[in-house]
Amino acid sequence: MTTMAKKITINDVADAAGVSVTTVSLVLSGKGRISEATGLRVNEAIEKLGFVRNRQAASLRGGQSGVIGLIVRDLCNPFYAEMTAGLTDELEKQGKLLFLTQSGAKGQHMQRCFETLVAQGVDGVIIAGAAGQGAELRELAEQKNLPLVFASRASYLDEADIIRPDNMQAAQLVTEHLIKRGHQRIAWIGGRGSSLTRAERLGGYCSTLLKFGLPFHSEWIIECESSQKQAADAITTLLHHNPTITAVLCHNSTIAMGAWFGLLRAGRQSGEGSLDSYYDRHVALAAFAEVMDDELDDLPLTWVSTPAREIGRSAGQRILARAKNGDDEARNQIMPARLVLRSS
C-alpha cells in the first residue's frame, strides 16, 4: 500500500485537458462531433492520468450496463464449461462482460440467482440448464422486461427462446453413416433412461433404422452410467448375447472409451473397414461428443459433435441482439451436429 491513489474521474480529465466534462464524455463514447485537436488533447489527459471510466455510473445514467448474467446448472460439467467458455469469448469480443452464477444441480438457487442478476442491472440473462423452471423464469423476465435466453442440451417444450443441439439430427447423421458403411445391426450403449438428450438421440437412431427398413431391437439399447468400466462390461455382455451386431453407437466419449476397451478385451477391436473383411470379427464404434476430447483422437471411431462452444457463442449473440433491439426475431434455434470421420 504505497499511495492511496485518488480515484480519477472525468472531471479530473476535463480539468487536465482544459475542456468540459461533456466533451470528455463525448470523446469517450465517440458520439458528438469532436474536433480532432480536442479529441487528441482529451486522450492525452486520459492517458497521462490513467483514467478508467466508471461503467457503473455510466449505466446508472445511461441505460445499458454491458453486462449479461449467466445462470448455469453446474460448471464442472464439461458441456456447460465449454458452453460458458464460448459465451464469454463472444461477449468479450463484443466488449461485454459476464456475471456467473450457479443454480445448483437441481436448480435450487435459480430464483436467487435471477434476483441477484436483476439487482445488478444486467442487460439480459442466459439460463443454461433450466431444470424445468422455464415457465416461471420466463414470466419473471417478462415482468421485469428483461431479455432471457435458454441454452440447453435438449428441448424443453415450455420454453421459447432457446438454443440447443439438434440431438435427433445428430443421431440420424451418425446412424445413417453407419448404415451407408454397410452396417445393418447397430446397437446403442450408454445414458440413463431419464436423460432427455438421450431420448432425443434415440428418436433419431430409431427413425433412421426404420427409414432404411432395418430391424430395431430394444435389447440392443443398453442403459449405462458414464463409466468406462460399466461401458466395457456392457458391450461385452451385449456382444456375447448378440454376436451378430456389427456396430455400436456410444452415448458419449467415456462410454466410447470404455466400449473400445471392452472390444479390445474381447478381441473384437473396433474398426472402420468394410464389413466384408471384418465381418464377425470387428465391431465399428461411433459416438456422440459434446465437447472435443483429445482422448478420442486415439480411438478408431467416427463421432458426431454438437459443439457446446458454438451454443455458447450463439447464446451470446442472441442475448445481445435482444438487448439491443427492443424485441427479437428468430426463436428456438437448433444447432446442427457435424460428422467427424476417422480411419486410424
* Chain positions contacting DNA, by CB under 7 A: 7, 9-11, 18-23, 25-26, 28-29, 31-35, 37-39, 51, 53-54, 57-58, 60-63
Q: Are 148 and 137 in contact (CB under 8 A)?
A: yes
> Closest distance between a copy of itself and the C-beta of residue 5, in Å?
5
Rounded to 10°, the helix 78-93/308-324 angle is 40
Which residue is associated with the grid cell 492520468? 49
Which residue is associated with the grid cell 440467482? 113
Q: Are 312 and 64 in contact (CB under 8 A)?
A: no
Q: Which residue's CB is nearer to DNA, number 76 or number 119?
A: 119
Q: Report the residue from 11, 295, 324, 332 that binds a copy of itself according to the rule CB under 8 A.
A: 295
Which residue is associated with the grid cell 485537436? 37
| Concatenated DSSP letters of 35-97 | -HHHHHHHHHHHHHHT----HHHHHHHHS---EEEEEES-TTSHHHHHHHHHHHHHHHHTT-E
Q: With binding defined as CB under 8 A, does residue 119 bind a copy of itself?
A: yes
- Distance CA(342)–CA(329), nearest Å, equals 38
Q: Which residue's CB is nearer to DNA, number 53 or number 109?
A: 53
Query: Which of a copy of itself, DNA, none does residue 50 bind to, with CB < 5 to 8 Å depending on kind?
Result: a copy of itself
Query: Which of DNA, a copy of itself, none does residue 97 bind to, with CB < 5 to 8 Å depending on kind?
Result: a copy of itself
Q: Report the residue from 67, 178, 189, 250 that binds a copy of itself according to the rule CB under 8 A.
A: 67
Query: Which of DNA, a copy of itself, none does residue 291 bind to, with CB < 5 to 8 Å depending on kind?
Result: a copy of itself
> Closest distance between DNA and the C-beta of residue 163, in Å?
30
> Closest distance between DNA and the C-beta of residue 20, in Å?
3
- Distance CA(188)–CA(268), nearest Å, equals 17
Closest CA to 247 of 239, 341, 192: 239
Residue 316 identity (one-letter amino acid): G
- Distance CA(14)–CA(26), nearest Å, equals 11
Q: With binding defined as CB under 8 A, does residue 28 bind a copy of itself?
A: no
Q: With binding defined as CB under 8 A, does residue 194 bind a copy of itself?
A: no
Q: Map the footprint of a copy of itself across residues 83-102, applying CB under 8 A.
A: 84-85, 88-89, 92, 97-102
Q: With binding defined as CB under 8 A, does residue 257 bind a copy of itself?
A: yes
Q: Tell me the per-residue interface mask from 159 to 188 with a copy of itself, x by CB under 8 A, - otherwise.
A: ------------------------------
Q: With binding defined as CB under 8 A, does residue 74 bind a copy of itself?
A: yes
Q: Report the residue from 55, 181, 338, 342 that binds a copy of itself according to the rule CB under 8 A.
A: 55
- Which are the contacts of 124, defined by CB distance < 8 A and separation ≥ 6? 68, 69, 146, 147, 148, 149, 319, 320, 322, 323
Question: CA gyration radius for the chain?
Answer: 26
> Among the residues of the chain, which ranges form H helices?
10-17, 21-29, 36-49, 55-62, 78-93, 110-119, 134-144, 167-180, 196-211, 228-241, 253-266, 275-278, 308-324
Count of residues interacting with a copy of itself (CB under 8 A)? 63
Q: Which residues bind a copy of itself (CB under 8 A)?
A: 1-2, 4-5, 50, 52-57, 59-60, 65, 67, 70, 74-76, 78, 81-82, 84-85, 88-89, 92, 97-102, 109, 112-113, 115-116, 118-121, 142-145, 226-230, 254, 257, 261, 264-265, 291, 294-295, 297-298, 326-327
